[in-house]
Structure formats: C-alpha cells, structure tokens
Amino acid sequence: MNLKNRLQWILFRRKILKTQGIITHITSYVDDKSILLGPNSIGKNSHIINSKIGRHSYVVNARIVNTQIGSFSSVGANVSIGGLGKHPTKWISTHPIFYSTKKQSGDSFVSNDLFKEHLSTRIGNDVWIGNNVLILDGITIDDGAIIGAGAVVTKDIPPYSIYGGVPAKCISSRTSPEIAAALKELAWWDLDDNILRKISPLFTMTEVSLPLIRLIIDQINKIKNENVTE
C-alpha cells in the first residue's frame, strides 16, 4: 500500500465507514474494492483486500484477500485468508516463470498466463475462525463451522463441523446432520436485526435441538404476523 492510499484511508475512508456502523482501527486497511455491509469491527493491523464481509462479522487481526465472508462470523488474531496464490503441482515445475506473466522472479518465458494462481475463498455465516489460522485460496468454509487455533485449511469444510490441525481435519460436529440441515434452512442470519433482537433469548436458553428450532420458527412467524397487522 502506497502513502497516498494510506493517507486517504486515515483521513477519509475510515470516517465514511464509521458513519455506516463500521469500526476500523487506524492501523488497519480496507481497500476501495472491498464491501463491508455493517455493522462490523476491523481490528488493528488487519488488511481487507478485494473482499466482502457480511453484517455483524468482525475481524480481530487478519489479512483477508479475494474472500467473501457471511454474516455473524468471527475471525480471530493473526489469521490469513486467501491471497496466497497457488502453484501447479502436477507439471514438470512449480516455478511461475513457465506459466505466469507477472515476472515474480524477474523474468517470464510466456506471453500469456497459463495457470490460475489466485482463487476466491468463501467463508459462510456464523463461522468461528480461531487465532493463527491459515486458509488457502479457493477454500469454502460452510455455515456454522469452527476452525481451531493454528489450523491450516487446505480443503473445503462442511457446515456445522469442527476442524483443527495441520492440515486441518475433522475433530467433531457441532450438531447432528438433521439439526445442521434445519439450521441451514432456518438461515437465521438473514433475518432483520429487529427480529433477531426479539428472539435472541432463545439462542442461549439451551443446547440446539429440533424442538428449539421449531420454537424459533414459530416465534419468527408470530413477530412477522404482528408486524403485518400493525
């Protein structure tokens, strides 16, 4: 990032984002290609590049590149998501001089790019990413997943699962497959904040279960019907 971009960020863009309910540390940076739906919190030394972050998701300290993050997700400290690039592993050489025009080593043998080095990464809704996690390009982490501290994620992560280790492997599931499917269908993260505020006590009253999800659905429908009749 050059000095001009840094000054624009400090003097102007941080203030504009604040009016949208987006709190950013002065040492952080969000480029003008990124979209933050707000409210959000972006912690110190975080860099958000060409990415989209959903409402109520927050970042403690991370480098996030070419990534879409859903709503209500939590990103811990010293996390790196996307932007690392890939090298071909099944060709004679992994060196970019044979397939990239970017001249990473100061030269290139090709006039056209022959390999897609950077892929988009997708993080779902209600995802918790622990400290010191590394997520490679092109990975999808589905809704409700938890990534343990220090993990290196090299493959897609299914919904409501808990992964950890190097490389990251499944440790356990947060719920049964039936409950995970019901939560995906509920998609509570898409609800209006006014509705979520009213039903929020149900989120912490007991462990998640199918009867609890049905109760939440009933309460949502009740609130929506009340709003229609008002």
Instruction: Determine the CATH number of domain 1-83+118-174.
Output: 2.160.10.10
Q: Mean per-residue pLDDT for 21-39?
A: 93
Our answer to whether residue 87 is catalytic in this structure is yes
What distance in Å separates the CA atoms of residue 193 and residue 178, rounded to the nearest whole number?
Answer: 26
Instruction: Write down the pLDDT at residue 5.
Output: 76
What distance in Å separates the CA atoms of residue 63 and residue 48, rounded to the nearest whole number?
Answer: 6
Residue 5's H or E segment, with its range, is helix 3-8
Q: Which of 25, 47, 56, 87 is catalytic?
A: 87
Q: What are the tens digits of pLDDT across the range 97-152? A: 999 999 999 999 999 999 999 999 999 999 999 999 999 999 999 999 999 999 99
What ranges make up the beta strands (E) of the chain? 22-24, 29-30, 35-36, 40-42, 47-49, 52-53, 58-65, 67-69, 74-81, 121-123, 128-129, 134-135, 140-141, 146-147, 152-153, 161-164, 169-173
The domain limits of the chain are 1-83+118-174, 88-113, 191-230
